[in-house]
Structure 1
Amino acid sequence: MTDVRTQSAEAAALNADVALITALLGGTKTMRAAGETYLPKWPNEDDESYRLRLAVSTLFPAYARTVEVLAAKPFSKPLTLGEDVPARLKVWAEDIDKSGRNLHSFASELCQAALGYGFGGILVDYPKVEGIVTRDQELKAGVRPYFVQIHVKNILGWLPKNATSVAELTQLRLLESAEVPNGEFDTKRIEQVRVLGRGTWQIWRKSEGGNKEWLLYDKGPTTLPTIPFVPVYGKRLAHMEACPPLVELGHMNVEHWQSKSDQQNILHVARVPILFMKGVEAETAITVGAGTAVKTDRPDADMKFVEHSGAAIEAGRLSILDLEDRMRQAGAELLVIKPGNVTESQTLADNEQGSCALKKVAENIEDAIDQALQLMAAWVGEPQGGHVTVFKDFGAATLAEASADLLFKSATGGKISSETYFNELQRRGTLSPDLDWDEEKKRIEDDRENDEPPTFDVPMPKGPQKPGGQPSAKPKPVTE
């Protein structure tokens, strides 16, 4: 049989950007596992030295933090269902994926995937049922459509490749994992490929034999004339094609991973001075430490420690700080409103907001959920699925404002220290360069100690009293 998994994977192979982002979002562990892909070996560096250097390298999670912070903005306020959403779909929205997630949480994670990887999707699935022919039987069995979040790595391919809409697709191949029995007391997860067509579905699994050939495991019809899949875009290029909106930040994060490794290495070298001896016989046993001495009769003998000047260390530190600042700005750019998106009829006096890149991503999420709700409605014979509204009024007027907002979120969320937040604001010119953190910290502590609630000599109002002598209503302001 045709190897549906291998050929499809080759036809829709993950590009370098997705592989890079997978490593970055996986953190230090996956970056180390990638080895020389993102941390090249130096010329003439032996394997053991490289292994040790890789083992102590740690990732500054700029990409992951930025995606997390930005994806949370559209969902800082609850997603709202329109009045046109059918009643039973509103009930299903409380557990939209039949695994406990409501529609707000599902959409929030969908936004993270769109920002992080640039592409994904929603499969509106319906469980396989037998013997259910009426709506009453359906309700009693709890059978209903539900959302499945599809990761970009699980989209193996589709036909035709030049389709311009989901309605034009005749085939979609998705990689899945299924849990199957493994003996009497255990289960195991295996890979399978779901092949969706117009009104059909197939499941392919590997055979148990030695050749591991892909065989048709199950198939059946569906009641929908189209494939119940909705693509979700970060930065749309074409139908079923997109790129990560923050891909350049990802490349900068890899640069930081490499530069930080270099900095750690040079610090290690600088912290261990080299003992240089002149005029001392090579066979002489040397003990280094307090209370020890080396004696020799040669008048030209000399002994000293050779230490690093530190200039390269400082240059490397400043370079890393500059790179971290550029990474923050790269993330903040998604929040900056583009003036070109404001028409002549829209003026500042009208309070019309322009469009920022993150707002476009939020609009993509909103549109995708609308389409998915329509598919859900189609599964159960509802005329329409209705619409949702995602919060989108979070644009910043300038890059400085957006960057400062990200810094504030990082500080309040415990991602950076208060001192780092103070230093970054000072470096950007927001705070006076004459301010000192230690003095400012003392002022903050003094203000907290002296921050006592004010007391006012206001007569208590007459009237009914609650137990304990407290008035039953708030006192009214006293006016002369």
Structure 2
Amino acid sequence: MLKIMPNTKNSAIVKMHTQGAIITALLGGTDAMRQAGTTYLPKHPRESQEDYNARKNTAVLFPAFSETLSQMVGRVFFKPIDTHKVSGSLNGFLLNIDLQNNDINIFSSKWFADALAYGSSYVIVDFPTTNGTLADNRHARPYFVHVKNTDVLGFKHEFQNGVPVCTQFRYRQTLTVDDGEFGEKNIEQITVWDLGRVRHYRKDDKGKWQVSAEKSVHGANGKPLNFVPVVDLVLEPQAFFVGKIPLLELAHLNVKHWQMQSDYHNIVHFVSVPLLAHSGSDDLGDSQTVASNNLLQLGADGKLSYVEHSGAAIGAAVTALEELKDEMATAGAKLLTRTKLALTDSQARDEQGKEISKLRVYANRLEDALGRALDFAAQWQGETDGGTVEISGNIDADFDPSASFADVLKMQAAGVLSGETVFEEAQARSIISPQREWQDEKARLELQGSLNMDFGQPESESS
């Protein structure tokens, strides 16, 4: 029987990573797409390897996927996460939630970006205990470890009280360690979480995986932890811990654009150089000699002429590329289209009859995932509830946020909105710099009003 090693991916992970390979290539940019070669840029029939390499090495990726991803993440985190409902014992952790000097907003944005790109992403809620009791670890505290989708190797689960619970979670890390007095090197480590235990594997001198460290994991009550403290952020669930890639269609369109743009540049290069054609006798003999006046002697019936392309193919290629850009923009914007979507039971009651966008649903799932992670952190502290967070962002705004600002001004003129609310709405639409403060602006308005009164008031006549 073949021995399963800790770095072996289970079938769900193999499928997940196979589907995500296109995302990894697109996020890697032009260099990664070129390196992928014929995977995303097929070789034409009868095209020589030399010509193919020249075409591939001059192709440039239009970053539609990565830019859309960045824009959507930016919308979700346009405003800071509201943490006023987080448990008081955890508030001090939020400014450095991962012990890497990342606060909850920065950490969550990276977690969400990975999930939006690949469909799922994960967080381990760790606690650096030495003997499993909190009394001897007063300076220790829980912290979050982001495990990227591409770093997961496997997981197991079982049903407890009808609910699927993770019982094992494996992932790889690349660690930088000292190498001699001045050098350093990267090593690969595999971490395996089980119920009440965590192991670290590294390769020995013979290249075999061996346990380099192992410890028992206890809860605040001193008993072995009866759950694996991993939180999955799955935006469109397909199976346990696995989700559908939300922007997969956009990814395929982006690859199509990569291929068409390569063909377009190849056509432009070809038609930009006129072909020199000869007609007449095939046997020119000595008549090919060039005279001192740089004239080519072609014989009695010889003729040379340039043949140029009409350029029709170029125009058609340009039109097709522009249409493809429009299709990519539409595919990305579908996350903002409001429809009636089924949420969790509690959300379905709250959102009944409302139309919300997929991006809003994804943000709700991030809220839920952060809540579960905070609950795990609270359990390390001997509590049961870590609290909740709220994400408002700029998710449900129109495609052109400034277009609806006229309605905001009309509502102010009707007396139903305050000046401060109008100011905030303008900031939400990036009409006003986020560095501006309402109180400062209000003081300027009051000063401006008093100056207008001073300059506009006519001088009183002397009696």
TM-score when normalising by structure 1: 0.75
Query: Would you say the 8 A contact 1:3–1:213 is kept in 2?
Result: no
- How far apart in 1 are the matches of 2:213 and 2:389? 36
| Alignment match, 2:156 | 159
Cα deviation 1:254-287 (Å, max 9, x = unaligned): 0000000000000000111111122373762569
| Alignment match, 1:188 | 185
Cα deviation 1:366-423 (Å, max 9, x = unaligned): 1100000010111121231000001166235xxxx63x5699xxxxxxxxxxxxxxxx
Instruction: Please give the secondary structure, in 1, of the residue aligned with 2:338.
Output: coil
| Change in CA separation of 1:219 and 1:341 when aligned onto 2, cut-off 3 Å | closer
The match for 2:211 among 174, 198, 216 is 216
| Alignment match, 2:38 | 36
Cα deviation 1:226-257 (Å, max 9, x = unaligned): 10000011322232110110000000000000
Instruction: Please give the secondary structure, in 2, of the residue aligned with 1:12.
Output: helix
Report the Cα offset of residue 165 of structure 1. Answer: 8.7
| Change in CA separation of 1:198 and 1:304 when aligned onto 2, cut-off 3 Å | same
Query: Would you say the 8 A contact 1:167–1:227 is kept in 2?
Result: no
| Change in CA separation of 1:61 and 1:106 when aligned onto 2, cut-off 3 Å | same
Query: Would you say the 8 A contact 2:335–2:358 is kept in 1?
Result: yes
TM-score when normalising by structure 2: 0.78
- How far apart in 1 are the matches of 2:384 and 2:356? 33
- How far apart in 1 are the matches of 2:294 and 2:306? 14
| Alignment match, 1:98 | 99
Report the Cα offset of residue 169 of structure 1. Answer: 2.0
- How far apart in 1 are the matches of 2:311 and 2:97? 58
Report the Cα offset of residue 296 of structure 1. Answer: 2.9
Map 1:412-427; keep pairs closer than 5 Å. none
1:174 aligns with 2:171: yes
- AA aligned opposite 1:373: L
| Alignment match, 1:455 | none
| Alignment match, 2:383 | 382
Query: Would you say the 8 A contact 2:129–2:140 is kept in 1?
Result: no
- How far apart in 2 are the matches of 1:33 and 1:165? 46
- How far apart in 2 are the matches of 1:254 and 1:189? 32
Report the Cα offset of residue 181 of structure 1. Answer: 2.9
| Alignment match, 1:239 | 240
| Alignment match, 2:195 | 198
| Change in CA separation of 1:285 and 1:271 when aligned onto 2, cut-off 3 Å | farther
Cα deviation 1:280-320 (Å, max 9, x = unaligned): 73762569xxx975243634322111111111110011001
Instruction: Please give the secondary structure, in 2, of the residue aligned with 1:39.
Output: coil
| Change in CA separation of 1:222 and 1:285 when aligned onto 2, cut-off 3 Å | farther
Cα deviation 1:36-59 (Å, max 9, x = unaligned): 100011111111111111110110
Map 1:287-436; keep pairs closer than 5 Å. 293-296=294-297, 298-339=299-340, 353-391=354-392, 394-395=395-396, 402=399
- How far apart in 2 are the matches of 1:271 and 1:106? 50
- How far apart in 2 are the matches of 1:382 and 1:53? 61
Q: Which runs of 5+ in 2 are unaligned?
A: 219-224, 344-350, 404-446, 459-463
- How far apart in 2 are the matches of 1:392 and 1:99? 24
| Change in CA separation of 1:91 and 1:352 when aligned onto 2, cut-off 3 Å | farther
| Change in CA separation of 1:62 and 1:292 when aligned onto 2, cut-off 3 Å | farther
Query: Would you say the 8 A contact 2:277–2:304 is kept in 1?
Result: yes
- How far apart in 2 are the matches of 1:163 and 1:322? 51
Q: Which moved more, 1:121-130 or 1:193-202?
A: 121-130
| Alignment match, 1:69 | 71
Report the Cα offset of residue 29 of structure 1. Answer: 0.6
- AA aligned opposite 1:175: R
| Change in CA separation of 1:252 and 1:286 when aligned onto 2, cut-off 3 Å | farther
Identity %: 32
| Change in CA separation of 1:203 and 1:406 when aligned onto 2, cut-off 3 Å | farther
How many residues were matched structurally? 396
- How far apart in 2 are the matches of 1:68 and 1:25? 11
1:89 aligns with 2:90: yes
Instruction: Please give the secondary structure, in 2, of the residue aligned with 1:127.
Output: coil
Query: Would you say the 8 A contact 2:79–2:394 is kept in 1?
Result: no
1:58 aligns with 2:55: no
- How far apart in 1 are the matches of 2:73 and 2:389? 17
